[in-house]
Amino acid sequence: AATTLIAKESQKNLKSRELDVINSSLTIQLTNASTGLTDAFAKAGVDVGSAKDATADDTSVEMTEKLEEARLNSVFDRVYAREMSYRLTTILLQLDAIYKTTQNTELKTYLDTTYKNIEPLQKQLDTYSAKTS
């Protein structure tokens, strides 16, 4: 949920058309994933908390601060691509870890689908980041 909010709020600061397109797709995928995973986790009996709690976590606050500094220094796109790629890598690792530990078939299916939808976007951000570094 926090990553979705960061992606949405960052859209207005992006200068690169390529990154703008990647981020638009990412925002859609993260919104769908957030809603679907919340439902899937709830059906599996897992409490996921609220989006408000997620935006206050240390990593979200730290990333928001980095992005604001990057915006002020006119390097927003480069920093955003690098930080979001890292953040998505972390999310993908978490999805994989949950997938390997759950026995819930419905949750496994949703985790797999979500992984397959987010992974190409993470790779695109990684590629963009490598080109602009």
Closest of 125, 115, 92, 101 to residue 32, by C-alpha? 115
Q: What is the pLDDT of residue 90?
A: 95
Q: Rounded to an integer, what distance in angstroms lies between the CA atom of residue 92 and that of residue 104? A: 18
pLDDT value at 58 more than 80: no
Task: List alpha helices for 44-57, DSSP H.
Answer: 51-55
Q: What is the pLDDT of residue 76?
A: 97
| Percent of the chain scoring above 90 in pLDDT | 71
Of residues 72 and 34, more confidently modeled: 72
Q: What is the pLDDT of residue 55?
A: 53
Q: Rounded to an integer, what distance in angstroms lies between the CA atom of residue 83 and that of residue 54? A: 17
Q: What is the pLDDT of residue 57?
A: 65
